């Protein structure tokens, strides 16, 4: 399932020491949203909104932003 893949990708990003702390906090929140017992469409919509806001963080490195966009793609396909 694509949600599971997205969670794994987000967890990998959490392990990256180059990811700013405030971004990590929001990534954790996004993982929590995806793990909730709700309809998948609702979870994905909420997660995409959160990821969109995270992507606007000016402290984020380009490679981290690329990883974030990859997660968005996985969720949008699912």
What is the C-alpha separation between 23 and 53, in angstroms, rounded?
A: 10
Per-residue tokens: 42: 């609702």
Q: Where residue 47 sits, what CATH number does that domain have?
A: 1.20.1440.50
Per-residue tokens: 4: 């599971």
What is the total residue count of the chain? 78
Q: What is the pLDDT of residues 3-60, one digit of tens each?
A: 999 999 999 999 999 999 999 999 999 999 999 999 999 999 999 999 999 999 888 8
Tally the domains of the chain. Answer: 1
In this prediction the pTM is: 0.91
Domain, as residue range, for 40? 2-77
**pLDDT on residue 46:** 97
**pLDDT on residue 74:** 95
**pLDDT on residue 1:** 61
């Amino acid at each position: 399932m694509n949600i599971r893949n997205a969670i794994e990708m987000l967890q990998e990003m959490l392990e990256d020491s180059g990811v700013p702390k405030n971004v990590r906090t929001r990534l954790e929140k996004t993982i929590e949203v995806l793990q909730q017992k709700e309809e998948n469409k609702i979870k994905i919509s909420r997660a995409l909104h959160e990821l969109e806001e995270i992507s606007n963080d000016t402290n984020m490195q380009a490679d981290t932003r690329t990883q974030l966009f990859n997660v968005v793609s996985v969720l949008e396909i699912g």
